[in-house]
């Protein structure tokens, strides 16, 4: 048994699933973050071949220029090896017949116009070719996910659907203005555009009728004023229409063990359910819990798929007897390592960062990072397959998400250091001092996960403006146009947007939803 077969024999069921998934993805050539190496003959020692990493563009060209007998894929490393020095077809293998190019034009049949029509010659300088290559790399990296209008990325749809599902507000043409509930900083009835801007919802303004515009502004003004559940108008479904069916989907509330002064909501199948899931869904957002009930999701996998589609943070927890574990304080983060004063990253630093990020996201904690949503979850989206979430915790490194003292609900843990690697954090000297007196700043290619949730782009889920910022920033990194590193304060300033306008709305909606759940549970 060779080394590869021994590795396969030792792999777990999950590792095997990962390997088969990568093999399926790469069967028609390198995709995503797959690396391509070519074995090149040494110019001096002709019997020596050096394994050389190719660029993404070179790798795609070399892969297409060789036969299946000259290329080898290693799923354990997600790498291709190109060996052009090997014969295209080994002895005994029939060489397929390829019709000569000129013979195509000797055929009696009429050729399509697009073949006969002479195409104009395009003059492209070297700089344009380089730019085109970089843009192609971006397209290969983000694929279909780059499109902001993609309904798979943003299923929330227009603002009416977003307000109905996440906040339980129904736009009505009648009884849609309640000035007595509006507080300081209220908007005039016709400024629905400001509501859309403040809440980061994208909608066709021409499709918003006058009455709907008034209702949207009324929602914003009522929520901004901190109106409690008992005083909300009938436009909110929590006033009378919404009922939580606990016989269809069970709900439990526990003190959170990971977020101070927060409640963890555990959704699980009821007794006698056909859903035999070994894990349950835990949320720290009351509005997200109500969204699950409004959408009619019942099974754990269905809920997980829905929450992933909206990019809402959640956990997949397993119930176990409490072990009274003492939470170990997080150690000092290392990120991508220390750098000297006036450090300025290069292309090599970008490559090293991408390799380190991929290593973290392809590790057992990758699924947990995907479920965290935010900027880390978005970066994980193109690397971590969603099916890993549906498999439940892998129990390599776990933490207690919530507990009642006798029963713990545990899930895979993610360290701050791992999240900092995903965001590309460097520890940069600030004064050049060495030793214990050394001062450093945490500067990064992307906002830290904790910093992201304090910016104006975080919202209550991943919304279109966040994606519109994300894609150009990703392009600038890949193309080498902008390697600037920012600290937490600079990220908050750059991404402040309308955070002071949106946070009161989200906060009061959470408060109303939490009170509604408390009353439903009795």
Check residue 120 and give its pLDDT.
Answer: 42
d(CA 312, CA 76): 31
Is the confidence at residue 11, as pLDDT, over 90? no
Per-residue CA distances from 86 to 68, 78, 90 (Å)? 11, 22, 8
Task: Select from 174, 249, 176 the least CA-distant residue to 217.
Answer: 176
Q: Give the domain range for residue 75.
A: 3-82
**DSSP string covering 206-238, please?**
GGS-HHHHHHHHHHHHHHHTT--GGG--TTBGG
* pLDDT tens profile 245-272: 999 999 999 999 999 889 999 999 999 8
* pLDDT tens profile 424-440: 999 988 876 665 556 78
Would 220 be classed as within a structural domain? no
Check residue 26 and give its pLDDT.
Answer: 75
Phi, psi of 400, deg, nearest 5: -85, 120
Q: 113 falls in which pLDDT band (50, 70, 90)?
A: very low
Per-residue CA distances from 145 to 23, 151, 439, 482 (Å)? 21, 10, 40, 22
Is the confidence at residue 1, as pLDDT, over 60? no
| Number of domains into which the chain is organized | 2
Would 94 be classed as within a structural domain? no
Phi, psi of 254, deg, nearest 5: -140, 155
Is the confidence at residue 131, as pLDDT, over 80? no
H or E segment to which residue 321 belongs: strand 315-321
Q: Work out the average pLDDT over 393-419.
A: 91
To the question of pTM greater than 0.75 for the whole model, the response is no
Instruction: Look up residue 141 and give its two tokens.
Output: 């990296």
Phi, psi of 500, deg, nearest 5: -70, -20
Would 460 be classed as within a structural domain? yes
Q: 127 falls in which pLDDT band (50, 70, 90)?
A: very low
d(CA 268, CA 264): 13
Check residue 430 and give its pLDDT.
Answer: 83
d(CA 476, CA 465): 17
* pLDDT tens profile 64-108: 888 888 998 888 778 889 998 888 888 888 887 654 544 444 444
Length of the chain: 522
Check residue 153 and give its pLDDT.
Answer: 43
Would 389 be classed as within a structural domain? yes
Report the 10 Å Cβ neighbour count for 222: 25
Would 199 be classed as within a structural domain? no
- CA torsion through residues 243, 246, 249, 250, sign: positive
Check residue 47 and give its pLDDT.
Answer: 76
Is the confidence at residue 140, as pLDDT, over 50? no
Is the confidence at residue 511, as pLDDT, over 50? yes
DSSP-assigned letter for residue 127: H
Instruction: Look up residue 138 and give its two tokens.
Output: 């971006």
Would 124 be classed as within a structural domain? no
Regarding predicted confidence, which is higher, 133 or 472? 472
The residues, any chain, with a CB within 8 Å of residue 183's CB and separated by 6 or more, are 221, 224, 225, 226
Is the confidence at residue 3, as pLDDT, over 80? no
Instruction: Look up residue 190 and give its two tokens.
Output: 């016709």
**Mapping DSSP to helix (H, G, I), strand (E, B) and coil, where does residue 86 land?**
coil
Would 516 be classed as within a structural domain? no
Would 76 be classed as within a structural domain? yes
* pLDDT tens profile 302-320: 999 999 999 999 999 999 9
Check residue 178 and give its pLDDT.
Answer: 86
The residues, any chain, with a CB within 8 Å of residue 286's CB and separated by 6 or more, are 263, 265, 510, 513, 514, 516, 517
Task: Select from 390, 279, 387 the least CA-distant residue to 20.
Answer: 387
d(CA 367, CA 356): 16
Task: Select from 449, 427, 425 the least CA-distant residue to 438.
Answer: 427
* pLDDT tens profile 169-217: 998 767 788 888 888 778 887 787 787 777 766 544 445 666 678 888 9
* pLDDT tens profile 361-397: 999 999 999 999 999 999 998 889 999 999 999 988 8
**Mapping DSSP to helix (H, G, I), strand (E, B) and coil, where does residue 169 land?**
strand
**DSSP string covering 43-78, please?**
SS-TT-EEEEEPPHHHHHHHHHHS-TTSEEEETTTT
Check residue 500 and give its pLDDT.
Answer: 83
- CA torsion through residues 58, 59, 60, 63, sign: positive
d(CA 412, CA 384): 15
Q: Which of 115-119, 416-420, 466-470 has maximum average pLDDT? A: 416-420
Percent of the chain residues past pLDDT 90, beyond the cut: 38
Check residue 434 and give its pLDDT.
Answer: 60
d(CA 196, CA 92): 67
d(CA 385, CA 367): 8
Check residue 121 and give its pLDDT.
Answer: 39
What mean pLDDT is reported for the chain?
81
* pLDDT tens profile 330-370: 567 788 888 888 888 888 888 899 899 999 999 999 999 99
* pLDDT tens profile 16-42: 777 787 887 777 788 877 888 898 887
Strands laid side by side in the 35-41 sheet: 49-53, 35-41, 79-82, 71-74
Q: Give yes or no for a contact between 379 and 422, defined as CB atoms under 8 angstroms apart.
A: yes
């Amino acid at each position: 048994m060779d080394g590869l077969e021994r590795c396969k024999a030792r792999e777990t069921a999950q590792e095997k699933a990962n390997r088969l998934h990568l093999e399926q993805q790469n069967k028609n050539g390198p995709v995503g973050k797959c690396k391509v190496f070519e074995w090149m003959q040494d110019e001096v020692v002709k019997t020596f071949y050096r394994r050389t990493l190719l660029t993404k563009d070179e790798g795609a060209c070399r892969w297409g220029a060789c036969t299946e007998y000259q290329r080898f894929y290693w799923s354990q490393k997600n790498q291709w090896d190109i060996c052009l020095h090997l014969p295209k077809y080994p002895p005994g293998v029939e060489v397929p017949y390829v019709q000569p190019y000129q013979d195509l034009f000797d055929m009696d049949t009429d050729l399509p116009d697009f073949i006969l029509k002479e195409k104009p010659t395009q003059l492209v300088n070297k700089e344009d070719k380089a730019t085109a290559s970089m843009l192609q790399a971006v397209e290969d990296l983000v694929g279909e996910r780059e499109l902001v209008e993609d309904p798979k990325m943003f299923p929330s749809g227009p603002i009416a659907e977003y307000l109905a599902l996440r906040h339980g507000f129904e736009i009505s043409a009648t009884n849609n203005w309640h000035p007595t509930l509006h507080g300081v900083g209220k908007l005039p009835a016709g400024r629905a555009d400001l509501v859309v801007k403040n809440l980061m919802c994208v909608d066709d303004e021409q499709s918003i009728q006058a009455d709907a515009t008034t209702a949207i502004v009324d929602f914003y003004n009522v929520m901004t004023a901190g109106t409690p559940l008992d005083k909300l108008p009938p436009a909110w479904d929590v006033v009378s229409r919404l009922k939580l069916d606990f016989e269809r989907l069970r709900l439990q509330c526990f003190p959170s063990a990971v977020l101070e002064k927060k409640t963890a909501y555990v959704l699980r199948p009821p007794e006698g359910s056909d859903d035999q899931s070994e894990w349950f869904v835990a949320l720290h957002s009351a509005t997200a819990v109500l969204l699950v009930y409004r959408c009619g999701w019942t099974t754990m996998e269905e809920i997980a798929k829905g929450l992933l589609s909206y990019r809402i943070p959640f956990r997949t927890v397993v119930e176990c007897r409490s072990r009274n574990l003492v939470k170990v304080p997080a150690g000092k983060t290392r990120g991508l390592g220390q750098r000297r004063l006036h450090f300025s990253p290069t292309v090599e630093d970008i490559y090293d960062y991408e390799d380190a990020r991929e290593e973290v996201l392809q590790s057992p904690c990758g699924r947990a990072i995907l479920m965290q949503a935010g900027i880390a979850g978005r970066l994980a989206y193109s690397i971590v397959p969603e099916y890993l979430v549906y498999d439940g915790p892998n129990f390599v490194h776990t933490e207690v998400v919530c507990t009642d003292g006798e029963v713990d609900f545990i899930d895979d843990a993610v360290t701050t250091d791992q999240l900092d690697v995903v965001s590309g954090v460097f520890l940069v000297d600030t004064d050049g001092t060495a030793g214990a007196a050394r001062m450093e700043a945490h500067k990064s290619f992307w906002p830290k996960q904790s910093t992201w949730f304090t910016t104006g782009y975080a919202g209550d889920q991943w919304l279109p403006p966040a994606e519109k910022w994300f894609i150009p920033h990703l392009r600038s990194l890949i193309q080498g146009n902008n390697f600037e590193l920012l600290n937490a304060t600079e990220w908050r300033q750059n991404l402040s947007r309308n955070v002071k306008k949106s946070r009161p709305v989200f906060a009061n909606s959470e408060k109303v939803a939490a009170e509604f759940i408390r009353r439903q549970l009795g």
